[in-house]
Amino acid sequence: MKIPRLSDDEVKDRLNKLPGWALEGGKLHREYKFAGFAEAFGFMSTCALVAQKQDHHPEWFNVFDRVVVDLTTHDAGGISALDFALAAEMEKAAQPLGRAIR
């Protein structure tokens, strides 16, 4: 089943409800900064389990205390509700660990 792509207006509306996230290069974008590498890696491990359950995997990279995330749905050809669902879960995972930068 094909996943529907959100319209530009839907993306803007949902972004307003997800502070810290931005639209960059056609993807949802967020940068997180943590107290150190262990916290950053712990965040990624937590998010990896959530992403696996959702069968929706982020584009991301980690350098020491920083994690950069880009979300898009390839099957939809853009941003879908799955991206926002994963972003919301990432926000929950980040709360006890550190603050986001951007």
pLDDT in tens, 47-99: 999 999 999 999 999 999 999 999 999 999 999 999 999 999 999 999 876 66
CA distance 34 to 54: 25
CA distance 78 to 28: 10
- CATH domain 8-101 topology: Gyrase A; domain 2 (3.30.1360)
Residue 101 has pLDDT above 90, yes or no: no
> Strand, coil or helix: what is 29?
strand
Number of neighbouring beta carbons within 10 Å of residue 8: 11
Q: What is the largest CA-CA distance in the chain?
A: 41
Q: What residue segments make up the domains of the chain, in order of their start?
A: 8-101
For 18, which DSSP code?
S
